């Protein structure tokens, strides 16, 4: 298991590989209450998910998801990231939602249960440390 320190919230550094083979790296906060991982729409577009750039829809896309957001209910496009790497752990085909998080929150990326279910995570809030390894179910 990899031992990582954090400051305010449990967070890790992640590497995403998109549909077009592009790679982006982000600091990401772990959210054990979020169903999905969340990525900003412009970043998802750069990673090859061009369908996330649309604003208004005449016909509701099948991958449009309604979720609880900081300001109430919101919608985002559900996408499947080709590869997510946390430390030396790589997970393929991880569900994300493309949604623009409020900049005031200071969070670039949210890691939710769509990725956390593949990981074994131990958080020690008093020591501000977390341990991450691959889940035994993998």
SS3 track for the chain: CEEEECCCCCEEEEEEECCCCCEEEEEEEECCCCCCEEECHHHHHHCCCHHHHCCCCCCCCCCEEEEEECCEEEEEEEEEEEEEEECCEEEEEEEEEECCCCHHHCCCEEECHHHHCCEEEEEECCCCEEEEEECCCC
What pLDDT does 46 receive? Answer: 94
Q: What is the pLDDT of residue 135?
A: 87
Domain boundaries, the chain: 2-134
Strand partners, 78: 97
Percentage with pLDDT > 90 across the chain: 62
Of residues 91 and 72, the one with the higher pLDDT is: 91
Q: Mark residue 72 as left, alpha or beta (left: phi above 0; alpha: psi -120 to 50; beta: remaining).
A: left
**pLDDT score recorded for residue 103:** 66
Stretch 109-138: mean pLDDT:
92
* 78-to-12, 39, 63, 137 alpha-carbon distances in Å: 22, 10, 5, 24
**Per-chain mean pLDDT for the chain:** 88
2-134 has which CATH code?
A: 2.40.70.10
Reply yes or no on whether the pLDDT at 45 is more than 90.
Answer: yes
The region of weakest confidence among 5-19, 48-62, 72-86, 104-118 is 48-62
Give the residue-averaged pLDDT of 121-128.
96
Question: Which of 16-25, 48-57, 69-78 is predicted most confidently?
Answer: 16-25
Q: Tokens 């990981």 — which residue?
A: 119
Q: What is the pLDDT of residues 74-115, one digit of tens each?
A: 778 899 999 999 989 999 999 999 988 766 567 789 999 999
For residues 53-59, average pLDDT: 67
């Amino acid at each position: 298991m990899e031992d990582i320190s954090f400051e305010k919230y449990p967070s890790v550094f992640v590497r995403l590989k998109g549909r077009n083979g592009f790679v982006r790296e982000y600091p990401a906060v772990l959210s054990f209450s979020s169903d999905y991982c969340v990525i900003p729409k412009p970043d998802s577009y750069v990673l090859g998910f061009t369908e996330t750039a649309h604003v208004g829809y005449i016909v509701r896309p099948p991958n449009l998801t309604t979720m609880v957001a900081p300001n109430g209910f919101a919608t985002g496009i559900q996408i499947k990231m080709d590869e997510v790497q946390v430390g030396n752990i790589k997970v393929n085909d991880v569900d994300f939602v493309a949604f623009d998080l409020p900049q005031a929150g200071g969070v670039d990326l949210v890691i939710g249960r769509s990725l956390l279910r593949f990981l074994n995570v131990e958080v020690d809030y008093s020591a501000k440390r977390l341990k991450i390894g691959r889940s035994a179910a993998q």
